Amino acid sequence: MTTSLEAWLPRQRWFAGKGRPITSVTVRRSTPLADGLTHQLIEVRQDDETSLYQHLDGDGFPAFLLSACAAGADLGGLRFRSLEPLDPGLPARPLGAEQSNTSFVYGRSAIGKVFRLLTPGLNPDLELTRALTGRGQVARLHGWFETDIDGVTTTLGMVSEFLADGVDGWKLATATGNFRAHAHALGAATARVHKDLAAVFGVARIPAPAVQALARTMTTRLDAACSEVPRLAPHRARIAEAFADLASHGPMPAQRIHGDYHLGQVMSTPDGWRLLDFEGEPSKPLEERRAPAHPLRDVAGMLRSFDYAAHFGHTPSWSDPHRSAFCSGYAEAGGPDPSVHPVPLRAFVYDKAVYEVVYEARNRPHWLPIPLSTFE
Ligand SMILES: Nc1ncnc2c1ncn2[C@@H]1O[C@H](COP(=O)(O)OP(=O)(O)O)[C@@H](O)[C@H]1O
Ligand SMILES: O=P(O)(O)O[C@H]1O[C@H](CO)[C@@H](O[C@H]2O[C@H](CO)[C@@H](O)[C@H](O)[C@H]2O)[C@H](O)[C@H]1O
């Protein structure tokens, strides 16, 4: 079993340790849930690091999750909870698009998600979706499941409203020549969510020394990325200069944000845009993902996504007018105007593109030219 996990893990899209040899895989906890279905927490050792993943050995977990949440079950240290009545009889099917986690759909009304890479603590997707449920801009939270890891309550998965009539933002953007009205409305929806997050979690201020520390962290990440992906190295000086500009920028506002914002995280519905997947970048430590950040970080993420959509579905010139429409919608709905904050915006766009360079090198090497073109 352990040997086959070692071979199987690197082939999974959600496996975050690609590109580094696996030294060992250990089953840390095994919980039988039903006949032929076992829940496992597995420790994967690579270099000097140990990462914890959630693994489901056997079939039938989607149906199990729904009925366990509906019943409020406690099972071998796993706690299943719901906020509203769930119909355990709904048929489950895989979502198809496997990304950082594993999702399945129940009928036309609910979607379940199992987090794969685990960090002890409250997952920001559960935390923010719960806080935003009822405010209109997200798929409502129905339930979740959790356990204690190292004495810390740790989110393992969620069940939310399925947006059956929604169209994935990435699909819509790559298929639509004139996407400007959509981009403008998406900017406005983003600003509204930022306002809601500020209302619930408050607004902080990042003092100048912390901004300098942030710029140093970005530079450290840049250097690690240059070592891992040598094609990034020729652009290092230009990127480091943008981070140095950020370091001398002075204090910045900060609040809870989405954290991994791109066109695949939003859906266009008959009632307007909805934002999904508030987990942040899964490869970052949980404290960093839950820390208040400048709201233009999300704007930067979406601007990068317009570049991706241009490369994938259009020509490079598609990007600029759509980026502008998104930024106007964002500023008109009360977000900080991206055009008057060029220094943080450029640093955040570059930081995101550096992240994407590593992500693409590990997962989709033929897509690497897309983030690299940001620096040309
Ligand atoms: N509530 C929902 N309703 C409909 N589709 C959804 C919903 N949540 C997610 N999806 C679809 O599933 C995809 C993956 O979901 P996401 O939460 O982003 O997973 P991951 O954490 O694996 O990236 C999204 O891009 C979207 O197309
Ligand atoms: O799985 P997640 O949605 O949490 O995010 C990861 O995978 C994304 C790709 O599926 C990746 O996004 C990058 O590619 C998108 C197109 O497929 C593009 O729209 C994004 O702008 C680009 O960053 C994301 O970075 C990664 O965290």
Q: What is d(CA 74, CA 57) in angstroms, rounded to the nearest whole number?
A: 19
With a 6 A CB cut-off, is 269 part of the ligand 1 pocket?
Answer: no
108 and 91 assigned to the same domain: yes
For ligand 2, atom 23, which residue shows the shortest CA distance?
356
Query: Which pTM does this prediction carry?
Result: 0.93
- Domain total for the chain? 2
Q: Tell me if 99 CB under 6 Å of ligand 1.
A: yes
pLDDT in tens, 101-139: 999 999 999 999 999 999 999 999 999 999 999 998 999
Band (pLDDT 50/70/90 cuts) for residue 284 is confident
- 97 close to ligand 1 (CB < 6 Angstrom): yes
Q: Average pLDDT of 140-162?
A: 97
Whichever domain contains 371, its CATH number is: 3.90.1200.10
| Residue 260 near ligand 1, beta carbon < 6 Å | no
pLDDT classification of 3: cutoffs 50, 70, 90 = low
Give Cβ neighbours of residue 239 (< 8 Å, ≥ 6 apart): 222, 350, 354, 375
Asked whether residue 223 carries a pLDDT value surpassing 80, the answer given is: yes
Q: Are residues 48 and 145 in the same domain?
A: yes
Q: Is the pLDDT of residue 212 over 60?
A: yes
* Nearest CA, atom 2, ligand 1: 162
Residue 1 pLDDT > 50, yes or no?
no
Name the pLDDT band for 282 (thresholds 50, 70, 90): confident
For the chain, what percent of residues have pLDDT higher than 90?
A: 92
Q: Do 236 and 149 share a structural domain?
A: no
Co-location of 290 and 367 in the same domain? yes
Residue 346 has pLDDT above 60, yes or no: yes
DSSP state of 293: B
In this prediction, residues 16-44 reach a mean pLDDT of: 95
> Which of 138, 161, 184 delimits the end of a domain?
161
Residues 63 and 103 in one domain: yes
Instruction: Give the type of residue at 242.
Output: A
Tally the C-alpha atoms within 13 A of residue 234's C-alpha that lie toward its C-beta. 6
Cα separation, 7 vs 102, in Å, equals: 19
Closest residue (by CA) to atom 26 of ligand 1? 168
My answer on whether 124 and 207 are in the same domain is no
Which atom, in ligand 2's list, is nearest to the CA of 301? 21
Q: Which two tokens stand for residue 327?
A: 């930024």
Pocket test for ligand 2, best of 101, 299, 359 (most atoms within 8 A of CB): 359
Verify that 115 and 41 share a domain, yes or no.
Answer: yes
Residues 311-324: pLDDT tens digits? 999 999 999 999 99
Kindly state whether residues 120 and 219 are assigned to the same domain: no
Question: What residues make up the domain containing 352?
Answer: 167-375
For residue range 56-107, list pLDDT tens digits in order. 999 999 999 999 999 999 999 999 999 988 999 999 999 877 678 999 999 9
pLDDT at 135: 93
Q: Is the CB of 125 under 6 A from ligand 2?
A: no
Q: Which atom of ligand 2 is nearest to the CA of 170?
A: 19
Any atom of ligand 2 within 6 Å of the Cβ of 260:
yes
Q: pLDDT, tens digit, for every residue of 226-270?
A: 999 999 999 999 999 999 999 999 999 999 999 999 999 999 999
Query: Minimum-distance ligand to the CA of 274?
Result: 1
DSSP assignment of 256-276 equals ---SS--GGGEEEETTEEEE-
Q: Fill in the DSSP letter of residue 7.
A: H
Please name the residue whose Cα sits nearest to atom 16 of ligand 2: 308
Cβ-proximal residues to 244 (8 Å cutoff; 6+ apart), any chain: 215
180 CA → ligand 2 middle, Å: 21
Residue 51 contacts residue 61 (beta carbons within 8 Å): no
